[in-house]
Amino acid sequence: KAGVTQTPRYLIKTRGQQVTLSCSPISGHRSVSWYQQTPGQGLQFLFEYFSETQRNKGNFPGRFSGRQFSNSRSEMNVSTLELGDSALYLCASSPGQALTDTQYFGPGTRLTVL
Amino acid sequence: AQTVTQSQPEMSVQEAETVTLSCTYDTSESNYYLFWYKQPPSRQMILVIRQEAYKQQNATENRFSVNFQKAAKSFSLKISDSQLGDTAMYFCAFIPLNYGGSQGNLIFGKGTKLSVKP
């Protein structure tokens, strides 16, 4: 089976712009989670989707949003980018309904905000 | 607040030796799951080992084992017979199961950078 894929792998944006990141889970996986990884804050949970419904949300401002499609692919959007949004954004999928299931991570999208 | 603390930002070990990575966490929940994840340089993060809080027996996966001390809220990872391929960032994480069985969010520590030297 193909692993979790994320596109694009690298992205450079300027402050005030918006960005959309994409994640394709492992075939058959219905849960997709998103994380932000920075040197200062480490790994922080953004949100999790299961069957097109957002089930959990981390403590991020409303500029961060996401959605999941019927084929389980997920996108996250960040509007009005700030310098502090520069980070590695990781997507993870799992087969079941529980976040306690093993999560399989993608390679990440490296976002740089100038 | 629910937190995970990894007190060793960096560690190194000689190949074939044993190393222990520390992790403590803070939660008011009585039931939760604990994990160690490994992120090799420029590679994807993978699960190393998991432990359910209500299970007293420490989890093991080949050369990886944990020492779970629930009362002390400690969850250390022991790597035996270290190999060069074990060089990576190691993240401790937990997810609380709230009252009523709903899940909280996955909470990560800041990580320990482990270097295995030949």
Q: What is the pLDDT of residues A83-110, one digit of tens each?
A: 999 999 999 999 877 767 888 999 999 9
Q: What is the pLDDT of residues A40-98, one digit of tens each?
A: 889 999 999 999 999 888 889 999 999 999 999 999 999 999 999 999 999 999 987 77
CA-based nearest residue in chain B for residue A58: B105
More confident residue, B5 or B103: B5
Distance to chain B for A94, nearest Cα, Å: 12
**How sure is the predictor about B102, in pLDDT bands with cuts at 50, 70 and 90?**
low
What share of chain A has pLDDT > 70, as a percent? 98
Q: What is the pLDDT of residues B33-54, one digit of tens each?
A: 999 999 999 889 999 999 998 8
The reply to whether residue B95 touches residue A100, judged by beta carbons under 8 angstroms, is: yes
Of B45, B106, B109, the CB nearest to A42: B109
pLDDT at B105: 78
Q: Does A33 touch chain B (CB under 8 A)?
A: yes
pLDDT at B26 over 60: yes
Beta strands in chain B (DSSP E): 3-5, 10-14, 19-21, 24-26, 32-39, 46-52, 60-61, 64-69, 74-79, 88-96, 107-108, 112-117
